[in-house]
Structure 1
């Protein structure tokens, strides 16, 4: 089940969880997580949803641009956040970590 992000409180709870988990086992994505969330806020024009685990927001976030659905997930094997089409198993469009430039993030999200 997913949680709709419809308040700043839910968004903050989600982000605190992501940054807390990144601090423990994925420190190479904690900075880019903030940039990606900003890019989602900039481009999303539909619902923004996060995966729910034990009643709390988890690491997967879905968003819509027009009628297209996108998802950001963390790939443990390569230690990067992946942007995918439609579902967590969808086609990978881009991968991000703390070395990703904001120019690159802007360009990718402009072209979605």
Structure 2
């Protein structure tokens, strides 16, 4: 007899972030180590600061693009990978909202700190 009954997996913030990471890393040519690191650092910041229960993965049917939607510092933000610029765009509101920042393989640690710190002022 098992000590624990099997638990059915629920969709959580962490599930959404994990699926988004898999999607972005696959779309960003998978072999780009720097973009993998940028993606993981960005998603770590989201998990650290996002409002609990606000993070979800949305699939754009038209482009098969994965979109991460969350609330940070009281602001609704979306994150999506743009294959043309090879960057993750952080936008206000929806994927049509203004671009607040682009994260790419040239993003420095200080850029993450500066961008995320501005969300909590």
TM-score range (shorter-chain normalised) is 0.7 to 0.9
> Residue 7 of structure 2 aligns with which residue?
none
Q: When you count helix as a share of all residues, which structure comes out higher?
A: 1
Q: 2:107 aligns with which of 96, 100, 104?
A: 100
Provide the aligned C-alpha RMSD in A. Answer: 2.7
> Residue 32 of structure 1 aligns with which residue?
38
TM-aligned CA deviation for residue 52 of structure 1: 3.0
Matches within 5 A, 1:50-69: 50-52=57-59, 59-69=66-76
The change in CA–CA distance for 1:60 and 1:23 in structure 2 (over 3 A counts) is same
TM-score (norm 2): 0.71
Task: Please tell me whether Structure 1 or Structure 2 has the larger radius of gyration of its CA atoms.
Answer: 2
| Distance in 1 (alpha carbons) for counterparts of 2:37 and 2:68 | 16
Higher relative contact order (CA 8 A, sep 6+): 1
> Residue 55 of structure 2 aligns with which residue?
48
Q: When you count strand as a share of all residues, which structure comes out higher?
A: 1
TM-aligned CA deviation for residue 33 of structure 1: 0.7
TM-score (norm 1): 0.76
- Count the aligned residue pairs: 106
TM-aligned CA deviation for residue 5 of structure 1: 5.1
TM-aligned CA deviation for residue 9 of structure 1: 4.6
